[in-house]
Amino acid sequence: MSRHRSDDRPAPVVVRAEVDHGSAELISDPDRPHAWTLLLDGTAQSHVDLDDPEHLEFEYVRRMAHVVDLLGEPSRPLRVLHLGGGAWTLARYVAATRPGSVQTVVELDVALAELVAHRLPGPGPEDGLDIVTGDARATVSALPSGAFDLVVTDVFAGARTPAQVTTAEFLAQVVRVLTPGGTHIANLGDGAPWPFLPGQIATAGAAFPRLLLVVAPDVLHGRRFGNLVLVGRPAGAGRDGNDEVVPALTRRTAGDPFPARVLDDDATRSLAGDAAVVTDRTSTPSPRPPAGFWGQ
């Protein structure tokens, strides 16, 4: 969410550091005394408010959090695997809203994980949060079956999702580590003419009984590039045989500063068209966004 800075506010503080896979910047938020935005090679990755972990500045993170809020009873602890660390924004949110949750954050960049832990301290092992440094796909493959209620895939190399976490083989491992009623949330970046999204929907649709998609209307209608939140869900329905998640999520996203559309299973699958399931042999990274799209 972009905002205009008034003249009487201090200029942002910028902390720069070289990490294992590029250059990191932490930029202070003039509107929130202990909030920071993390950029990697000029691409905004995370925003965190150390005083208020329930404040979610990035709209796509807010949309993922809405999905998390609707998983079971509101305060029930969850077992969550976050693939892609950044500044641990969603993990901090889960720790704050669902105390007692057991979470694992997987971050490839060791130096970045150390920078975040030092400059943006947050929940630790005593709060149920474990930071693991390693490759996302290799880490998932080594984890025990049925260990998580939720897996969140938010892996980016620069501004693109790496090919190895876009495939049927990868999602087979995700399904394996989920409980039978588990949920998968993926943050995707794409825009018309949709070189990436249809294949991801086809692939997720082969792995999960039920899908939904959360997306800004102007992105959905092809007017700009943007984030799309693709959710793979179990087959079970809500009370009285009705799926209650889609209308509940629709109400929540409609009340956001930048409202989003929620597409149910049929509408989501229709966007796949005749796209084939993506495999390790056919996979490619997500498209490169327009210059400066995720910059600050």
What is the model's pLDDT at position 85? Answer: 85
What is the model's pLDDT at position 293? Answer: 60
What is the model's pLDDT at position 296? Answer: 30
What is the model's pLDDT at position 2? Answer: 42
Average pLDDT across the chain, whole number: 92
Stretches where the chain sits below pLDDT 70 are 1-7, 237-242, 292-296
What is the model's pLDDT at position 295? Answer: 40
The string of pLDDT tens digits covering residues 173-186 is: 999 999 999 999 99
Closest CA to 22 of 137, 136, 160: 160
What is the model's pLDDT at position 6? Answer: 53
First to last CA, the chain: 11
What is 56-270's CATH topology? Rossmann fold (3.40.50)
Give me the residue spans of the domains in the chain: 56-270
pTM over 0.85: yes
The string of pLDDT tens digits covering residues 245-286 is: 999 999 999 999 999 999 999 999 999 999 999 999 999 999
